[in-house]
Amino acid sequence: METTQLTADVLVIGFGKGGKTAAHALGDAGQRVVLVERSENMYGGTCPNVGCVPTKMLVHYSTGRRLEDDAQEFFARSIEGVRTLTSAFRAGNFASLDGKDTVTVITGTARFADPHTVTVGEGDDRITVTAPTIILSTGSAPVVPPIPGLATSKHLVSSTELTQAATLPERLVVVGGGYLGLEFASIYQHFGTHVTVLEGAQRLLPREDEDIAEAAREILEGDGIRIITGAKITKVEDSGAVAKVVYEKDGETHEVEAGALLPATGRRPVTDGLRLDAAGVRTTPAGAVEVDEHLRTNQPHIFAVGDVNGGPQFTYVALDDARIVLDQLLGEGKRTTADRVAVPHTLFTTPPLATVGLTEREARAQGRNIRVGKKRVADIVAMPRAYTVEETRGMMKFVVDADTDLVLGAALLSIDAQEVVNTVALAIRHDVTATELRNAIYTHPSSTEAFNEVIPVR
C-alpha cells in the first residue's frame, strides 16, 4: 500500500467559518495550505449548510405563507428553495478555496498520528499531511439529553434533519426553550405545525430580564406555540405514528404527542475521531479543546477556532477567532479574546430578539446607578417603520449608567432588531453616550429612530 504524503505550511482541520477564513488569508499570503473536511456536505461549515443560512431562510419563508396556501406544499417548496441556496453556497465555498493555487481541499476524516502529522482516509486512499502549524475548526454537534427512550425514538430529529426534510411534521415537540429551540418553534408554527416547547427552567429565557422574557413569551404564545416551563421530561415512548413525551410539572405527570421530537438543549465540541491524544492536545472537562487568549492549545503550534474551543457558539465569533489566529501568524500578535466587548446576540423569532451588554438585573447586581428606558413597540411614536411592515409586537429596552451616561446594554424585541443592535454594540464599544445616541439623526422611517424616543434622558 502506497500512502500519498503532503507537506503544508498550515493544515486546517474543518471547513467552518474560522477555518476557511484563516485558510483564505494564509493562502493569499503565499503559504501552502491543506484544508481537511470530513463531509462533502459541509463545505463552508455549519452556518451555510445546516445552521444560520437554512434556518433564517425558513424564517423568511414561514412568515410568507398565506391562509389559502396548502401547508405541506408550501413547506416542500420552501425546503427546495433552501436546498438550492445551500447547494450553491457549498459549491462556492469549495471552489473559492480549492481554486487557489496555494490551497488544497481534502475530503475525509483527519486523525493525528503525532503533533505535526495527520492521516486522512484508509487503505489505498490514505493521505498523510504534515505541517508546522495546525488550526482545528471542527465545530460542534447537537447533544441528545439522557432521557429514557429519547435516543432510540424513531421520531427523534436533529436540527439538520428538520432543515432538509420536505415533509412538514403535524406535531413538533421541542425539548429546551433556548435560542435554537425557540427559533425552530417559531418557524414551524408559522408553517402550520402544532408546536409544544418543554423547558426545564421556571421561566422562558432566564438570562434575560423578566419583562423582556415575558414579552417574548407573549408573542410566541400569541402565534399559537404551547410553552410549558418547569417541565421535567421523564421518558419518551414510541406509539405508532407518534412519540409520547411524558413530563412532570408541579408534582403532576402529563404527556404530549409528537410526530417529530427535537432536542434543543445544547451542542458539544466535535473532537471524536481526531485522536487528540496522539497530538498531545488537552481538552476541558466539557470536551472542548483547551486554548489560551490567543487560541493556542497546550501545543503552541496548534490553534483551535470556533465552537470546538468551547467559546460562544456563533459564526461571527468563529470569524473573530480566525482574526486572532491570523494576527499571530501574519500580524503583530496583539489580538486576544479579551478584546471582545459588547458582542451582540440575536434570537431569530418573529420578530427577533437582539441583545447586547448588561441586562437591568445584571447592572443592579453590580451596584450601578442606572437609568432604564423601555417601551412596547406599539407605543413608540418615533418608529412608524413597525406600522409600515405591520409588525408592532415587541419591546425595546435600554440600560444606561446614570453617572457616565454610557449605554450598558439593550434588549430589542422588534422588527429589524438583528440590524439595530449592531449600532448599539458599536456605541458601547466606543463610549458613545446615551444622549448622543438618542439625539442622533436617523433615516425615516426606520427602526433605529426609535432611539430618539426610548433611550432615557439624562
Instruction: Confirm whether 444 is a catalytic residue.
Output: yes
To the question of whether residue 28 is assigned a binding role by annotation, the answer is: no
| Residue owning grid cell 423568511 | 60
pLDDT for 324-348, tens place per residue? 999 999 999 999 999 999 999 999 9
Q: Which helix (H) or strand (E) holds 324?
A: helix 315-329
To the question of whether residue 70 is assigned a binding role by annotation, the answer is: no
Q: Tell me what the pLDDT averaged over the chain comes to.
A: 94
pLDDT confidence of residue 121: 85
341 touches 429 (CB < 8 A): yes
pLDDT confidence of residue 1: 46
| Window from 65-69, 125-129, 192-196, 380-384 with minimum mean pLDDT | 65-69
pLDDT for 216-242, tens place per residue? 999 999 999 999 999 999 999 999 999
- Determine what percent of the chain is predicted with pLDDT higher than 70: 99
| Residue owning grid cell 429589524 | 416
Q: In what order do the strands lie in the sheet with 110-114?
A: 4-7, 127-130, 117-120, 110-114
- Per-residue pLDDT, averaged over 354-373, amounts to 98
Q: Can you identify the CATH homologous superfamily of domain 4-142+268-339? A: FAD/NAD(P)-binding domain (3.50.50.60)
pLDDT for 73-85, tens place per residue? 999 999 999 999 9
Hey, what's the torsion of the CAs at 224, 230, 236, 239, to 10 degrees?
-40
To the question of whether residue 18 is assigned a binding role by annotation, the answer is: no
To the question of whether residue 14 is assigned a binding role by annotation, the answer is: no
- Per-residue pLDDT, averaged over 138-151, amounts to 94
Of these residues, 155, 194, 254, 444, which one is catalytic? 444
Cα–Cα distance measured from residue 400 to residue 380, given in angstroms and rounded to the nearest whole number: 19
Can you give the residue ranges of every domain in the chain?
4-142+268-339, 159-265, 345-454
- Per-residue pLDDT, averaged over 1-24, amounts to 90
295 touches 324 (CB < 8 A): yes
| Window from 52-66, 181-195, 374-388, 425-439 with minimum mean pLDDT | 52-66
To the question of whether residue 170 is assigned a binding role by annotation, the answer is: no
Q: Confidence class of residue 386 from pLDDT cuts 50, 70 and 90?
A: very high
Please tell me which residue, 59 or 50, carries the higher pLDDT value. Answer: 59
DSSP string for residues in 119-167: EESSGGG-EEEE-SEEEE---EEE-----TTTTT-TTB--HHHHHH--S
To the question of whether residue 2 is assigned a binding role by annotation, the answer is: no
Nearest CA to 48 out of 98, 102, 89 is that of 89
The amino acid that residue 140 corresponds to is: S
Q: Is the pLDDT of residue 163 over 90?
A: no
Q: Is the pLDDT of residue 303 over 90?
A: yes
Q: Which helix (H) or strand (E) holds 94?
A: helix 71-98
- Per-residue pLDDT, averaged over 43-63, amounts to 84
To the question of whether residue 92 is assigned a binding role by annotation, the answer is: no
Distances (CA, A) of 6 to 3, 118, 120, 129: 10, 10, 11, 5
To the question of whether residue 357 is assigned a binding role by annotation, the answer is: no
Looking at domain 345-454, its CATH architecture is 2-Layer Sandwich (3.30)
Q: Is the pLDDT of residue 69 over 80?
A: yes
- Per-residue pLDDT, averaged over 190-212, amounts to 96
Does 345-454 match 4-142+268-339 at the fold level? no
Alpha-carbon radius of gyration of the chain:
24
pLDDT confidence of residue 2: 59
To the question of whether residue 199 is assigned a binding role by annotation, the answer is: yes
Angle at 276 between CA 270 and CA 278, to 5 degrees: 155
Please tell me which residue, 145 or 48, carries the higher pLDDT value. Answer: 145
Cα–Cα distance measured from residue 124 to residue 154, given in angstroms and rounded to the nearest whole number: 37
Alpha helix (H) ranges present in 146-261? 159-164, 179-191, 210-222
pLDDT confidence of residue 202: 94
> Could you tell me which CATH number the domain at 159-265 has?
3.50.50.60
To the question of whether residue 138 is assigned a binding role by annotation, the answer is: yes
pLDDT for 250-267, tens place per residue? 999 999 999 999 999 989
Q: Is the pLDDT of residue 3 over 80?
A: no
